[in-house]
Amino acid sequence: MPERNRRLVLAQRPTGNVEEETIRLEHVDAPEPGAGEALVHTRYLSIDPTIRTWMDDVQGYLPPIGLGEVIRSTAVAEVVRSNSERYSVGDLVFGLTGWQDYALAGEREGAMQLLPPGIDPTAALSVFGTTGMTAYFGLLDVGRIKEGDTVVVSGAAGATGSTVGQIARIKGAARVVGIAGSDEKCAWLTDELGFDSAVNYKTDDVGARLREACPEGIDLYFDNVGGELLDICLAQLALRGRVVLCGAIATYNARGKIEGPRNYRNLIPRRGRMEGFIILDYLGRFPEGQAEMASWVADGRVKFATHLVDGLEQAPAALNLLFTGGNKGKVIVRVE
């Protein structure tokens, strides 16, 4: 008898927030693994803002999720049956399972990565996964951080931003300033993660607070948010300042046309640079980033928080947390 599979599919494209009618729960038979394939049981889902962008009918760096298709998502899963020499029953793997209980792992197309024994699956999805590597390569490779830089990061109490600030500190930034959405998050950044200061964008005058915190301007702005905060930071760029376009979460739920930055012209007198990137381009270099990250986590210089949500069916609500700021650190769904 095949296992029964709960799966969450895209029922309707959202026009703003993900609502109840966006996602449909289905109960179907789990797929049968063919030759060279394994059946894996999803244990932990990585909840990423980009999932929301895949729900739009827009060609991005991956094709949109089709109507009726399982919501695309990376996860840690456990091998439960195997017709492949690559996977043994009980192995933990990392890959694109989607929001469902069971998926197939192949050997080439659909191959999943084996997790090293002993690694905590939630850490594999956060600091050692695409989130941590986005912070690492975004800051080092795209942002080309230098000792003495004044670094500002938005979405600073989120999974990526909190890691960016701590790496900036390790790499010798003169000042690290976070922008986040509550006083409690700001206190976490300064009291526990070593940020020099933090600005609550919901209650503070962000421009004025950044001018105080960065009197010589911003050398490196790591942008997770886009919108108004990008404009404010562009206006305060230092000479040869760099803007890393990592994400634009303020715009992912937007209806209609998205406004561009009004202050981009300041890049000209400041001889500045603004560059986007997609972490998938760095997959081949993950071992290098993961090794350095492992040493920082081991000696306590990089701390990470996990916001765990229980139950596959809670995945849409968990995704919405990223947009309401209901999370501190990495959002992960534990699938029962």
Ligand X SMILES: NC(=O)c1ccc[n+]([C@@H]2O[C@H](COP(=O)([O-])OP(=O)(O)OC[C@H]3O[C@@H](n4cnc5c(N)ncnc54)[C@H](OP(=O)(O)O)[C@@H]3O)[C@@H](O)[C@H]2O)c1
Q: Which residues bind ligand X (CB under 6 A)?
A: 48-50, 130-131, 134, 155, 157-161, 180-182, 185, 201, 224-225, 246-250, 277-279, 322-323, 325, 327
Beta carbon of residue 329, minimum distance to ligand X (angstroms, whole number): 7
Cβ-based nearer residue to ligand X, 253 or 266: 253
For helices 286-298 and 159-170, what crossing angle results, to 10°?
80
Beta carbon of residue 34, minimum distance to ligand X (angstroms, whole number): 32
Q: Is the dihedral of CA 97, 328, 140, 122 positive or negative?
A: negative
CB 81 within 8 A of CB 39: yes
Beta carbon of residue 317, minimum distance to ligand X (angstroms, whole number): 14
Cβ-based nearer residue to ligand X, 25 or 305: 305
CB 97 within 8 A of CB 119: no
Cβ-based nearer residue to ligand X, 53 or 84: 53
Beta carbon of residue 154, minimum distance to ligand X (angstroms, whole number): 6
CA–CA dist 236, 252 (Å, integer): 25
Cβ-based nearer residue to ligand X, 40 or 246: 246
Beta carbon of residue 286, minimum distance to ligand X (angstroms, whole number): 13
Task: Write out the two tokens for 121.
Answer: 């699956």
Residue environment code for 49-78, b if the CB has 16+ CB neighbours within 10 A, otherwise e: bbbbbbbeeeeeeeebbeeeebbbbbbbbb
Beta carbon of residue 142, minimum distance to ligand X (angstroms, whole number): 9
Cβ-based nearer residue to ligand X, 49 or 241: 49
CA–CA dist 306, 327 (Å, integer): 9
Cβ-based nearer residue to ligand X, 14 or 158: 158
CA–CA dist 219, 216 (Å, integer): 9
